[in-house]
Structure 1
Amino acid sequence: MAPDQAGEARKGLIDSVKGKAKEVVGSLSGNDSLTAEGQLEQTQARERKDANAAEAVADAESAQAKARADDAAFEGERRRIVAEADAASAQQSATRQQAAEKQAADQAANAEVTRANEQAEALRKRDQLAADVKAEAEVDAASDDYVDAVAEHQESAADAAAKRDEADRLRAYAHSEEGN
């Protein structure tokens, strides 16, 4: 509970006790004005308590939304790194395959060397293209997850702000009722 929330809670408790005391004294002494004033103070204390509770819920929801957005950002970065590692591994694999095919082609006749090199290059390009397409798709998926998480965080933050505004409104109403 934040210091200002703790202070509000103490003030609400004190106001509630004062209100109850005024209500009892007014009731026992037959002073309807004092009884009504005591009831009003109790009502204002309840409203302040409700406003503090609503603000605490809004703060907790905002923290949860931020944690989810942070988790999604971390997961997106992790997926990007995995996708890049997969692409590098595919590149290394394609390079190893090309070297093996080239060595086999070098041992064959000159005509076979030309044909084998062309075939190896085509396979390498195909594998590289496939690896690039896969990596790009995984990065896109991770980006989409991150964008969704950011949107959810913004929505949760807006909801939390609305709840905080409602809590402020209730608190202001309770304070204005004290003045009446």
Structure 2
Amino acid sequence: MNRRTKTVVLGVTLVLTAAVATGSAAASGDDHRREAAALTGTAKLYRSDGDDMTFSFDAHLATKDNDDPLKATGTFEWSHYRDGHGAWARAKVNCLVTGGKVAVVSGVITDSDLPGAKGKQVGVTVDDLGRHDRLGYSWAATGTPVETGDMPKCVSSAPFEKVKQGTGDFTVVPWQPKL
């Protein structure tokens, strides 16, 4: 190999080595900054009878709190209207547990126009299936959060509702506790 070719090969090798090292360092750094768990996004639910139901989530569990899902932070909110009647509510997150693409988030209602809802514990389950997300909520069997009674944290129902096509963008970051 002539001197010029050796110089080019050496230069390319150095550039590739630096790129691989930088990529490895960035990847390992991302693992340390990644949240322990998260549920984010907004979607409307599909209802054949025309109900307008929307759920939004901004729930997070910091890496430093990986062993305690009760230290999750954030909010979630929802609204349910039909023929001009309904209500909305916002809850402060008090628990977030995720596994794979399924998340259960719970919280206490901090603001709502539904009489008697403030202070009630509620939970929501999301199954992040891409374009076919599903959702369930703790008041599914009772009709409203007001009628659910006392509920523990981190409890909800199976994700039985379908997200309206084209509206879902839920993202679940899977929790990986040290067991």
Flag the structure with higher strand content: 2
Tell me which of the two structures has the higher relative contact order, counting C-alpha pairs closer than 8 angstroms and 6 or more residues apart.
1
Flag the structure with higher helix content: 1
**TM-score, length of structure 1 as denominator length:** 0.29
**TM-score, length of structure 2 as denominator length:** 0.29
